[in-house]
């Protein structure tokens, strides 16, 4: 059934082997990060060109914080770094997928394993949220301080 | 160790049970979609408020196509719909995670199971791409036509 062969043109966006990340107008690309072992999605964040390059070269996850407008080494404050097992890029090269091993067992600044700890369900008066992975692996106040930036 | 209890304030963005999706300036929210069984990330796309509402209410994935500027029922052309097993939202409610059952076995418009069929690896002269899941489940020309929009 496959009629097209990959790599017909090495710099073809969808079928090539040249990395051509399509950063948006702000210079960012979306990154989804999942646990390499369980497949659980841990977080969605953004990378600029430097963050992507540092991630590829160092084997640890770097992002760009839109709120702090700064390059951000994941786990810099908490020690909960992400060791990168595999980096993937999607068909039109505007999204990155990191498969990581999460140090400390928690990716979310709230202290939970994943940022996606609530499910969206239909309700009588619109959608409602239900906590499905509410348990905290660490206490964010203890890790970041009560007045520290609660994200790393 | 957990010191905070969920639901201290029902409409709190991070700890509440009220859905308050934070759409960006274009009215969109990022959505990552994974295979409910394998955990593989299939695609990253966007939703507007209507797409999110239709997804919650119908149990099938709807997105908003930025290129076509149109609401988009996944699988409308190909029949490869996504049956939603679970919807999650992240801590600050600016990203959605869909866990789906992918009809037809392929989410990508190139005919592959996942849009993330290439790995990014460090090379002598910068990063390079390697095909890791290159096999096509369907022939996109046969499904969409050679001149049809190659995405659904």
Query: pLDDT at residue B81 above 80?
Result: yes
pLDDT attached to residue B9: 75
| A to B CB pairs, distance under 8 Å | 156
**A95: part of which helix (H) or strand (E)?**
strand A95-102
Q: What is the DSSP string of B13-69?
A: TTT-SB------TTS-EEEEEEETTT--EEEEEEE-HHHHHHHHHHSB-EEEETTTT
Distance, in angstroms, between A67 CA and closest chain B CA?
12
pLDDT attached to residue A123: 86
Measured CA to CA, the distance from residue A147 to residue A119 in angstroms comes to 29
* Burial of B102 (C-beta count, 10 Å sphere; 0-12/13-18/19+): buried
pLDDT attached to residue A133: 87
Query: pLDDT at residue B49 above 80?
Result: yes
pLDDT attached to residue A141: 85
Measured CA to CA, the distance from residue A104 to residue A100 in angstroms comes to 12
In this prediction, residue B8 has a pLDDT band, given cuts at 50, 70 and 90, of low
Residue contact A95–B87, C-beta within 8 A: no
pLDDT 10s digits, B93-131: 999 999 999 999 999 999 999 999 999 999 888 899 999
**What pTM was estimated for this model as a whole?**
0.91
Query: CB-based contacts of A123: which residues, under 8 Å, 6+ apart?
Result: none
Query: CB-based contacts of A86: which residues, under 8 Å, 6+ apart?
Result: A36, A98, A99, B119
pLDDT attached to residue B131: 97
Checking ipTM against 0.95, whether it exceeds it is no
Residue contact B38–A39, C-beta within 8 A: yes
Tell me the mean pLDDT per 10 residues along chain A, length 152. 57 93 96 97 98 97 96 92 98 97 94 97 90 91 68 62
Residue contact A39–B43, C-beta within 8 A: no
**Mutation site, A88, A107, A112, A131, interface B, largest B CB count within 10 A:** A88
Among the partner residues A15, A97, A108, nearest to B91 by beta-carbon distance: A108
Residue contact A89–B126, C-beta within 8 A: no
Q: Give the residue on A whose Cα is nearest the Cα of B135.
A: A2
The DSSP output letter for B91 is T
Measured CA to CA, the distance from residue B89 to residue B93 in angstroms comes to 6
Two structure tokens written together for B108: 């990508």
**N- to C-terminal Cα distance for chain A?**
46
Residue contact A87–B119, C-beta within 8 A: yes
**B142: part of which helix (H) or strand (E)?**
helix B140-144
For chain A, how many helices (H) and strands (E)? Answer: 2, 8
Measured CA to CA, the distance from residue A112 to residue A49 in angstroms comes to 28
Query: pLDDT at residue B33 above 80?
Result: yes
Distance, in angstroms, between A63 CA and closest chain B CA?
16
Measured CA to CA, the distance from residue B29 to residue B16 in angstroms comes to 19
Q: Which residues of B37-69 are buried (b: 16+ CB within 10 A; e: fewer)?
A: eebbbbbbbbbbeebbbbbbeeebbbbbeeeee
Q: What is the mean pLDDT of residues B15-36?
A: 96
Two structure tokens written together for A65: 């914080």
Radius of gyration, CA atoms only, chain B: 18
In this prediction, residue B146 has a pLDDT band, given cuts at 50, 70 and 90, of low
pLDDT attached to residue B106: 93
More reliable by pLDDT, B147 or B94: B94
Query: pLDDT at residue B6 above 70?
Result: no
Residue contact B89–A118, C-beta within 8 A: yes
Task: Name the nearest CA neighbour of B119 among A104, A89, A28.
Answer: A89
pLDDT attached to residue A152: 64
- Indicate if the alpha-carbon torsion angle A3, A5, A8, A13 is positive or negative: positive
Residue contact A120–B89, C-beta within 8 A: yes
């Amino acid at each position: 059934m496959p009629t097209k062969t990959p790599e017909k043109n090495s710099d073809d966006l969808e079928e090539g082997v040249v990395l051509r990340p399509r950063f948006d107008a702000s210079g960012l690309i979306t990154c989804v990060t999942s646990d390499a072992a369980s497949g659980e999605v841990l977080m969605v964040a953004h990378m600029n060109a430097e963050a992507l390059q540092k991630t590829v070269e160092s084997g640890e996850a770097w992002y760009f914080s839109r709120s702090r407008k700064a390059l951000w080494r994941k786990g810099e404050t908490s020690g909960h770094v992400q060791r990168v097992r595999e980096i993937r890029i999607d068909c039109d090269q505007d999204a990155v997928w990191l498969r990581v091993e999460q140090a400390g067992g928690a990716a979310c600044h709230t202290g939970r394993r994943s940022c996606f700890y609530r499910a969206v369900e239909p309700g009588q008066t619109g959608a409602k949220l239900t906590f499905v992975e509410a348990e905290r692996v660490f206490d964010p106040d203890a890790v970041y301080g009560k007045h520290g930036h609660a994200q790393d």
